[in-house]
Structure 1
Amino acid sequence: MLPKKLILLAPLMLCATNWQDAVNTAVSATSTQKQATTSSPTSTQSSATSGVKEALSLGAQQAVSLLGKEGGFLNNSAVKIPLPASIKPVATAAEKLGGKSYVDDFVKTMNSAASKSVPKTASIFSDTISSMSIEDANAIVKGSNTAATDYFKTKAGTKLLSAIMPIIKESMNESQVMSSYQSLKGFAGGSNPVAGASNNALMGQASSIAKGFGMGDAVPSGDESIEDYIGRKTLDGLFYMIEEKEKALRSNPLASGSSIIQQVFGK
């Protein structure tokens, strides 16, 4: 037989055991609830960041791939770099005098320089995407149809321009843009019996335009050199392509083939 004291204590021990089990169950349930509460926002934020980064990567990769190849700018009417406004009067006159080929060569030179500089931007786009914060990602998801592109412009615009300018200048030299310009200038100012006195006027215009290109005297303050013009237009083209890709991904996430993009932008 069990000692009398043990028999008396048994109910108390059983109650204590049941009480401890109840406490353990309550603590476990509370802990699980807290984990669910805290992990949900974190999980959502992580998904948003991953989705935005992947969308940005797709847009940047496509832009660099399409514009960085030969004819990438020249053969794409949406981003093709036109003549600067300052040279259009001379170019128009030259075309009327039979010098369209000189104008075409110059346009080709500018667009070729832009395409050659584009591959240099790939690493900058990649670094910008990698450094994106959760706050940036959430703002992009909740933002406009061009929020991701605007993020690139703000965070990487200056770096991108600094990276492409040396290549543009080098490409301009390799493509003999000076010779191309001098040919156009020479045609406009050369002896052409059909043109008559108008040639002299064209020559004067061409000389003043040379300054605007940084090919003659010092460029007046505030004027844009031809290299700066090409650099600006190159970035405009890149951002245009990225923007178009972003709009497409937002309007039809399923077409991306990416589950994380569908999850983030398909809501």
Structure 2
Amino acid sequence: MKPEKLIRLSVCVALSCFLAGNAGPAFSGDASGTDSVLLAATTTQPVKKTGTAASKKTAKAKKPATAVKKATVAPKATPATSPKASLTAKSPSAATPTTQVAPASKSPAVADLSRGVKDALLQAAKGAVASLGKENGYFANQLVRIPMPAQLKPVDDMLRNLGQAALADRFIESMNRAAEKAVPKTIDIFGKAVAAMTLEQAASLVKGPEDAATRYFESTTRENLKAEIMPLVGEAMNQAQVTAFYSAMMSKASGYMPFLGLMTPDLNQYVTDKALDGLFLVMAQEEKKIRQDPMARTTDILKKVFGGIFK
């Protein structure tokens, strides 16, 4: 049974009981009153239902609003936590590159310094060879000209006093010609010696004196260079007839100096030593040019190292 009918039935029963207990004229015309009561009851019940439905709908409507609020709060919480976590995660990776960059920046500097010094030495050696390894390279240059061996100075003086200076001069010239012939063959030997220098050795010479690289190179490689160059000098001496001119000179002087046999020097060693002296002297001059004259810096690395970047 529907609620409306149940309500009407209840009202009718209640009215019947009321009228039965209260006889009299009050009942007359009360049918309309009863109908009014029934109508009021009937009309009121749907209103209550409507109100209940409305309140239910309102409650339902409010629930989505709460859900929306929760949904709104959830995204706010997520981004707020996310950046912090990501920043925390990125911090170690950001710190790691910074720590690794410092040594890397030093290594290229040392490598460049070393390359610059080696380049300077090679350029100086090539310049010295070009200057000395030609006719009159030694003989016409008073700074590097190979003189009479000191122990043969008495022979030289005696021959000049006897009017035999030509014998002494030809011997001296032959030694210089031998050096001029031998020097061009030494450039490869110099190149290997330069390449063998360590990074630290070469880099430490950038800020030294104007001939620091040459003098260091000479002090550390001269004996090895001498051993390799001496055979070349020996061949050149044969070509220049050094021994022949020496023998002619000594033969002429022997009649006047009976003890000449005690003065015989090792000519190969002597010419080699003097040839190296001249080479290192001219190399030092070439190095000085590179350090002082920008026009002498013919490569990018020479410009970078000796142009003031690392000073």
TM-score bin (small chain): 0.7 to 0.9
Contact 1:67 1:115 in 2 (8 A): yes
1:28-68 CA deviation, whole Å, 9 max, x = no partner?
54344334422221221122112112111111111122222
Counterpart in the other structure of 2:251: 186
Task: Point out the structure with max Rg over C-alpha.
Answer: 2
Select 1:95's aligned residue among 140, 160, 183: 160
**In the aligned structure 2, how far is the partner of 1:181 from the partner of 1:46?**
50
Mapped pair 1:204 → 2:254: no
Contact 2:178 2:239 in 1 (8 A): no
Tell me: CA distance 1:34–1:244, structure 2 relative to 1, closer, same or farther (3 Å): same
Give the alignment's TM-score, normalised by structure 1.
0.80
Tell me: CA distance 1:99–1:257, structure 2 relative to 1, closer, same or farther (3 Å): same
Counterpart in the other structure of 1:139: 204
Letter in 1 for 2:286: K
Listed as ranges, the matches of 1:210-249 within 5 Å are 212-213=264-265, 225-249=266-290
Percent identical among aligned pairs is 34
**In the aligned structure 1, how far is the partner of 2:211 from the partner of 2:177?**
28
Contact 1:185 1:203 in 2 (8 A): no
Listed as ranges, the matches of 1:65-76 within 5 Å are 65-76=130-141
Counterpart in the other structure of 1:251: 292
Stretches of structure 2 lacking an aligned partner (at least 5 in a row)? 1-63
Counterpart in the other structure of 1:109: 174
Mapped pair 1:163 → 2:209: no
Q: CA deviation at 1:147?
A: 2.2
1:201-232 CA deviation, whole Å, 9 max, x = no partner?
x34254443xx23xxxxxxxxxxx12111111
Contact 2:133 2:180 in 1 (8 A): yes
Once the two structures are overlaid, the 10-residue window that deviates more, 172-181 or 79-88, is 172-181
Counterpart in the other structure of 1:222: none
Letter in 2 for 1:55: A
Counterpart in the other structure of 1:221: none
Q: CA deviation at 1:7?
A: 4.0
**In the aligned structure 1, how far is the partner of 2:212 from the partner of 2:149?**
29
Counterpart in the other structure of 2:129: 64
Letter in 2 for 1:141: V
Stretches of structure 1 lacking an aligned partner (at least 5 in a row)? 190-199, 214-224
Contact 1:90 1:205 in 2 (8 A): no
1:4-37 CA deviation, whole Å, 9 max, x = no partner?
7654432232023212442365445434433442
**In the aligned structure 2, how far is the partner of 1:187 from the partner of 1:124?**
39
Counterpart in the other structure of 1:193: none
**In the aligned structure 2, how far is the partner of 1:255 from the partner of 1:5?**
78
RMSD (CA atoms): 2.4
Aligned residues: 243
